[in-house]
Amino acid sequence: MKSEQRKTQILECAKTLFSAKGYYQTQISDIQQAAGVARGTIYQYFKNKDDIFVTLLENLYRDWRAELSGRPERNAKAYENGFEVFKFRIRQTFKFFAEDPDYCNILLKVGLGLGGDFDRVIAQFDRHLVEMTKYYLLSGLKMGRIRSDINIEMVTNMIGGAFMRMAFYYGVTRKKRPRLDFDALTEDFVRTFAYGIFPENH
Amino acid sequence: MKSEQRKTQILECAKTLFSAKGYYQTQISDIQQAAGVARGTIYQYFKNKDDIFVTLLENLYRDWRAELSGRPERNAKAYENGFEVFKFRIRQTFKFFAEDPDYCNILLKVGLGLGGDFDRVIAQFDRHLVEMTKYYLLSGLKMGRIRSDINIEMVTNMIGGAFMRMAFYYGVTRKKRPRLDFDALTEDFVRTFAYGIFPENH
Amino acid sequence: MKSEQRKTQILECAKTLFSAKGYYQTQISDIQQAAGVARGTIYQYFKNKDDIFVTLLENLYRDWRAELSGRPERNAKAYENGFEVFKFRIRQTFKFFAEDPDYCNILLKVGLGLGGDFDRVIAQFDRHLVEMTKYYLLSGLKMGRIRSDINIEMVTNMIGGAFMRMAFYYGVTRKKRPRLDFDALTEDFVRTFAYGIFPENH
Amino acid sequence: MKSEQRKTQILECAKTLFSAKGYYQTQISDIQQAAGVARGTIYQYFKNKDDIFVTLLENLYRDWRAELSGRPERNAKAYENGFEVFKFRIRQTFKFFAEDPDYCNILLKVGLGLGGDFDRVIAQFDRHLVEMTKYYLLSGLKMGRIRSDINIEMVTNMIGGAFMRMAFYYGVTRKKRPRLDFDALTEDFVRTFAYGIFPENH
DNA sequence: AATGAATGAGGGTTCATTCAT
DNA sequence: GATGAATGAACCCTCATTCAT
């Protein structure tokens, strides 16, 4: 228990540092000092430096999924059509990243291009998000709620890319925006993909 | 001239390696061996390892802009309305990344999260792409060709994110897809943002 | 305490080596081997090679001042006139260098012409010695105990130079002279400057 | 002939650089650029870097001896007693260093502590100066012109040290002193050692 | 004789990891 | 469990010297 707290504390310090300085620029000694423990203590909780970063990524994935689970309270009926579910998840993800910019920065910037085991864990998140989108698109297609002429593969990627960039934008780049309205944000985001940006009488 | 060739050759080897292994995983000795020169020779052409990477990024930016310049041959008239210009640039950028996956990988994955001077050069590309998009949106708005109720800031980020992810997808992830039809790809991409994915009679 | 000992031990080895081989001829690996520690251990105690040498010079200066402080036991009265103070300090400095030939060699030979931070620390010693001499000369002048027609600036330099060369001679060049009589040495030195080398009835 | 000029020119540049930056801080490329020749050209005139420095020191020694040779014009008679000869040589050496501060700096500061072959060449100068002094003292002693109770070894070192420091002071430290009166300087220097700094009725 | 690109041995420094206390 | 001194492999970079042209 006490031990678990210590581990969490080290991870928290590591998160801040990795986010601020990147993986290779962050030394074990930085983490150790920030956490206020001795150098060797780190190695009682983690196998090595990689392990810290991977644990961080796995926690991120776990926490994100916890955020996703649950249902939108209101409008339980609409939930059935899949669109509301999708919107809810988009909303929760926005919230998740906006409320933890370090996680956001680590997943969408710092963690990329590191190679090795890291790619695997990051790909896990990526795949999950993409599958979620694709699932929505496919079921929407089947129900006639989505245009039949779209290129699923492409649109999936587009939505994923657009979403991640926005998450990064609102979570990291624009750090000091006081209070984001996640519902409105999500509505705007979804509407753009739903109806396009051309006037209706195009 | 001979000297310029040698520099280019070193850069080419470095590009492949950085793309495949990442910045920190690539040693000077890797580059040196790949280029078939002695260790010290590298330092006759570059100040240090950073310099190689930054030069690579600057060349990337330069080459990309060269790809953008020029006009679509056919349909010169439509070009006037800005939409064709935008589409042309999207198309050229797709082409640029698809034809040079290493550049693509370095810019959109490997180079991120390195910090230092690298961020500056990468941000240059990013800003350029975003400004290009925003410019198109603003002029389209003024001409009534784009819905007046969109959130410019958000849509700009969405298009940028969607585009980069696609470029990465077609350039790197799906590396071995023989022959991409850039015109069709661009058309699909643009249409999705233009008309949305919902059926017309929504 | 233990740590302080280790640092001292490394410094001691470095002193011997720097004195024997010079700054640039002494490698970190020489010091490391002489001290019987691993390469990296050196860097736990010193920022870099420069730092070792500068620390050495600063210790030298500190130790020398410690040697100077204190008063000649006997003849406390004569001490008042300044001459005895001066002689005592000359004596102590002779002693200091004769008993630590490595310090002597590092300060008066090895450390010269290195430039950088080193000059600063060496100049500190030099200035101190010169100021000490000048102070004695000026107060002697005021009290009528020194000829009024001497060129202070020149004589200061002469005494300083003569003294340093002698220190080097007795400390380093003539390394193995068993037992120096510092009192006699000082007496000779001072008398030469006091009365000159010409016969009295010149 | 042309070749000899080229060699001289390289040496001249090397002298300036070695004096300003020290031996190890001066790179072959510095010398090569300053001399306006290609890197490889240096090695057609000198075996290696050491050779340049040693040549410089040997030229210095040669030029100094040239400066010493010759006789004081006036007072040819006094010349016989050795004192005038000694004074003349002191004077010429002052002049030599004051007129070539780089030589002065190289011999009395930069060249010390380098070890290797350099010590040998520098020692040559040193020994010459000391022998000159000792010879004067011994003959003065024999002729009763110098106090019989002085410690020859010590006084020799004192005069040598005092002299070198002064030469350095007037040649390097006080670089910008307009016009030195070498006769007066020498007179002051010699008188200090001759009669001492105490009042006559001590 | 002159060039300057190429060389590579050699040095300083970093930093994740270990282990005796 | 906690500590932090010690470790040493690994890496970047310098720079005197060579040699084909």
Is B177 a residue whose pLDDT tops 80? no
pLDDT band for position D82 (50/70/90)? Answer: confident
The pLDDT value recorded for residue D101 is 93
Q: Do B22 and A188 touch (CB under 8 A)?
A: no
Mean pLDDT of chain D: 88
The SS3 assignment for B65 reads helix
CATH 1.10.357.10 residue window(s) in chain D: 48-195
C-alpha distances in angstroms, C165 versus C73, C100, D163, D164? 27, 15, 10, 9
Average model confidence (pLDDT) across chain B: 89
Q: Please tell me the predicted confidence (pLDDT) of residue A196.
A: 81
- HEC sequence for C68-112: HCCCCCCCCCHHHHCHHHHHHHHHHHHHHHHHCHHHHHHHHHHCC
Q: With contacts defined as CB-CB under 8 Å, which chain B residues touch A147?
A: 195, 197-200
Residue C202 has pLDDT above 70, yes or no: no
Q: What is the pLDDT of residue A106?
A: 96
Closest CA of chain C from D184, distance in Å: 11
Average pLDDT, chain A: 89
The C-alpha atoms of residue C162 and residue D172 are separated, in whole angstroms, by 18
pLDDT reading at A161 higher than 70? yes
pLDDT tens-digit series, residues A78-112: 555 678 889 999 999 999 999 999 999 999 999 99
DSSP track, A94-126: HHHHHH-HHHHHIIIIITTT--THHHHHHHHHH
Residue-level pLDDT at A77: 57
**Looking at residues A175-188, what average pLDDT do you find?**
84
Is it the case that residue A41 has pLDDT exceeding 80? yes
Q: Cβ separation of A111 and B110 shorter than 8 Å? A: no
Cα separation, D127 vs D31, in Å, equals: 30
Query: How many CB atoms neighbour CB B45 within 10 A?
Result: 19
Query: Which residue of C lies nearest to D164 if distances are taken between CA atoms?
Result: C161
pTM of the model: 0.91
Burial class (CB in 10 A: 0-12, 13-18, 19+), D29: exposed
Most confident of the ranges A75-84, C137-146, C192-201:
C137-146
d(CA A18, CA A14): 6
pLDDT bucket at C2, cuts 50 / 70 / 90: confident
Q: Which residue has the higher pLDDT, B168 or C143?
A: B168
Average pLDDT over residues A63-79: 72
Confidence of residue A8 (pLDDT cuts 50, 70, 90): very high
The DSSP 8-state label assigned to residue C173 in this structure reads I
Q: Are D159 and C154 in contact (CB < 8 Å)?
A: no
Indicate the helix (H) or strand (E) that contains A60.
helix A49-68
Question: Residue C145 pLDDT > 60, yes or no?
Answer: yes
Position D81 confidence tier, pLDDT thresholds 50, 70, 90? low
Residue nearest to nucleotide E19 (CA to C1'): A40
Is it the case that residue D60 has pLDDT exceeding 90?
A: yes
Query: Is C201 a residue whose pLDDT tops 90?
Result: no
A2 min Cα distance to partner chain B (Å): 34
Nucleotides of F under 7 A from a protein CB: 1-20
For residues D122 and D111, is the Cβ–Cβ distance under 8 A?
yes
* Residue A197 pLDDT: 76
Coil/strand/helix, residue D47: coil
Q: Rounded to an integer, what distance in angstroms lies between the CA atom of residue B26 and that of residue B11?
A: 13
Say how far apart CA B180 and CA B184 lie, in whole Å: 9
Q: Which of A60, A62, A54 is nearest to A120 (CA)?
A: A54
Neighbours of D, requiring at least 3 CB pairs below 8 Å, are C
Q: Which of B102-111, C142-151, D92-101 has the lowest mean pLDDT?
A: C142-151
CA C146/CA B49 separation, integer angstroms:
66
Contact B166, B90 (CB under 8 A): no
Does A199 touch chain B if contact means CB atoms closer than 8 Å?
yes
Nucleotide nearest to D50 (CA to C1'): F16
Confidence of residue C76 (pLDDT cuts 50, 70, 90): low
| Average predicted confidence (pLDDT) for chain C | 89
Report H helices in chain B.
2-21, 28-35, 39-45, 49-68, 76-79, 83-99, 101-105, 116-142, 152-168, 182-195
| The two three-digit tokens of residue D102, written as one number | 């780089």
Alpha-carbon gap: C42 to the closest alpha carbon of chain D (Å)? 23
Note the pLDDT tens digit of each residue in B15-38: 999 999 999 999 999 999 999 999
D91 pLDDT more than 90: yes
- What percent of chain C is predicted at pLDDT more than 90? 63
> What are the structure tokens assigned to B112, written together?
């991120």
Query: Half-sphere exposure of residue B71, counting CA atoms within 13 Å on the CB side?
Result: 10
Residue closest to sugar C1' of E11 by CA = C27
Domain at C48-195: CATH architecture: Orthogonal Bundle (1.10)
| Integer angstrom CA distances of residue D46 from C150, D33, D37, D183 | 48, 16, 13, 39
SS3 content of chain A, % helix, strand, coil (to 5): 75, 0, 25
Amino acid at B50: D
Task: Please tell me which residue of chain D has the smallest CA distance to C159.
Answer: D162
Query: How far apart are alpha carbons B14 and B28 in whole angstroms?
Result: 9
DSSP annotation of A79: G
Which positions on strand E lie below 7 Å from a protein C-beta? 1-20
- Please tell me the predicted confidence (pLDDT) of residue C108: 94
- CATH 1.10.10.60 location in chain D: 1-46
Interface check for B183 against chain A (CB to CB < 8 A): the answer is no
Least reliable range by pLDDT among B78-87, C102-111, C164-173, D145-154: B78-87
Could you tell me the CA-to-CA distances from A70 to A67, A82, A88, A133 in Å, in that order? Answer: 8, 14, 9, 18
D110 touches chain C (CB under 8 A): yes
Q: Which range has the worst mean pLDDT, A170-174, D75-79, D116-120, D178-182?
A: D75-79
How far is the C-alpha of A67 from the C-alpha of A97, rounded, in Å?
10
Model pLDDT, residue C149: 86
Which two three-digit tokens encode residue C196?
Answer: 């000159």
Digit-coded pLDDT (tens) for C156-174: 999 999 999 999 998 888 8
Per-residue pLDDT, C171: 87
What whole-number distance in Å separates Cα of residue C106 and Cα of residue C143?
37
Q: Give the Cβ contact number of residue C175 at 10 Å.
A: 11
Q: Kindly state whether B202 is in contact with chain A, defined as any CB-CB distance less than 8 angstroms.
A: yes
| Predicted confidence band of residue C197 (pLDDT cuts 50, 70, 90) | confident
- Alpha-carbon gap: B28 to the closest alpha carbon of chain A (Å): 17
CB of A109 within 8 A of CB of A172? yes
pLDDT grade, residue B117 (50/70/90)? Answer: confident
pLDDT for the residue C82 = 78
CA of D28 to C1' of E2 (A): 16
Burial string for A8-29 (b: 16+ CB within 10 Å, else e) reads eebbebbbbbbbeebbbbbeee
| Distance from the first to the final alpha carbon of chain B | 62
C-alpha closest to that of A50 among A24, A17, A32: A24
**Selection from D47, A155, A85, C23 nearest residue B190 by Cα:** A155
Residue of least CA–C1' distance to E15: A27
Residue B48 touches partner A, C-beta closer than 8 Å: no
How confident is the model at residue D80, as a pLDDT?
58
pLDDT at C77: 57
d(CA B104, CA C104): 62
Instruction: Look up the CATH number of domain A1-46.
Output: 1.10.10.60
Task: Provide the pLDDT for residue A60.
Answer: 95
Under the banding of pLDDT at 50, 70 and 90, the label for residue C1 is: low
Higher pLDDT, C181 or B3: C181
pLDDT at A145: 87
pLDDT for C61: 95
CB contact under 8 A, A158 and B165: yes
Amino acid A166: pLDDT? 93
C135: pLDDT strictly greater than 80: yes
Closest residue of chain B to A158, computed from CA coordinates: B162
Superfamily in which the B47-195 domain is placed by CATH: Tetracycline Repressor, domain 2 (1.10.357.10)
Give the C-alpha separation, C89 to C96, whole Å. Answer: 10
Which chain D residues are closer than 8 Å to C157 by Cβ?
162, 165-166, 169
Q: Does C190 touch chain D (CB under 8 A)?
A: no
pLDDT average, residue stretch A141-170: 91
Q: Which of A165, A170, A200 to mutate to test the interface with B (most CBs of B within 10 A)?
A: A165
- pLDDT at residue B28 in the model: 96
Pick from C145-159, D151-165, D168-182, D184-198: least confident? D168-182
Which tokens belong to A71?
A: 């249902």
